[in-house]
A and B are shown apart, each in its own frame.
Chain A
């Protein structure tokens, strides 16, 4: 694997994870529990789409095969996506959504903080910019997890269930392969083993405040590095890619 091949994959990982979570956020549009949250979800989605565009465009530039951000978003199949498994988890109820978003925004928050000093200028700029946005996403989801966890008996038990259900997808956030190995040597990528303890601290702090119990690690799902996904991604793509597939090259 060449450095450029690894870089393309790395950018797709970052770009795809933002894109897929952005699409999940968009699914809340007009379905939010209250108007303010409906707007919040759409705004978070917008940030994520913006972040994704930067990375997918850059992936296309390095690859040098004239693929645009739109080609990457709309003309790939499940196995060609490298988003982490957590980002594709269905929205479920509002508690499921905010717990998933907490796990993900705590991950990107710590990752982007470190990536801001990547030796790759585009990735460093992307990370520094995105960090400002995910800081708000992290605060938003953390406050909701506390409100629901430390809320009523019912909201507590539902949110604990969300934490338990999503836990098996957390290990995939820290999985690495030869892409990481190559890019860490070049000071482009970050060793995710450095991110894990930071993520643990943030998650433990939030769960404790929320009176929720951190689950024990047992069976953990993995596979996103090789494009192995759950069936949820296929359903998501079917909706997201419908228009460009039905009307190729359609323009606004």
Chain B
């Protein structure tokens, strides 16, 4: 007889929240919004995740980390599903996570669609330097250290910094 999981979805959600983002270890996969659903169907645990960017190289690590975490908690009957709809958006990043990003030196994405214009709308509007809080900052490159970040420089403290792009 297959072992029946003793965990509730809330418990599973809680310990999966301990998994950090492999690239930005100060925030978890739940704060980032990558973990979408935890379901239990006939004692099988079904985890649903969604990629931030289509080609995000961290997805495989997310899956492996989730696998380890489930096994660590004696959950052996599980499935990890990846969905693409609704498409991930930076609006799902929690308020606490935004503060953590800022402390880590990454400017969090601005809310809503302010920087989502298509042609020639540069993202220079009010991106605050995470180091000195100045608004006098400039876009250096739309593509930074990872696909999800742009590279900015602060004109006050002169430090370059990453900005989490709005999508």
Contacts and interface: CB of A to CB of B under 8 A. Distances in A.
Contacts of B84: 54, 122, 125-126, 128-129
B167 interface: yes
A45 B144 CA distance: 14
B80 interface: no
- Specify which of B54, B119, B121, B142 lies most central, judged by the most chain A CB atoms within 10 Å of its CB: B54
Chain A binding surface, main DSSP class:
helix
Interface in A157-183: none
Given A39-B145, A40-B141, A140-B142, A133 B54 contact: yes
Contacts of A126: 84
Contacts of B98: none
B143 A39 contact: yes
A99 interface: no
B54 A135 contact: no
A236 interface: no
The dominant DSSP class at the B interface is loop
B119 A50 contact: no
Interface in A124-142: 124-126, 128-130, 132-133, 135-136, 138-140, 142
A159 to B, nearest CB: 17
A47 B55 contact: yes
Contact of A36 (B57, B88, B140): B140
B38 to A, nearest CB: 21
A43 interface: yes
B164 to A, nearest CB: 13
A142 B151 CA distance: 18
Contacts of A53: 54-55
B37 interface: no
Contacts of A12: none
A209 B119 CA distance: 11
Contacts of A138: 118-119
Contacts of A40: 141-143
B87 interface: yes
Interface of B: 51, 53-57, 83-89, 116, 118-122, 140-147, 151, 165, 167
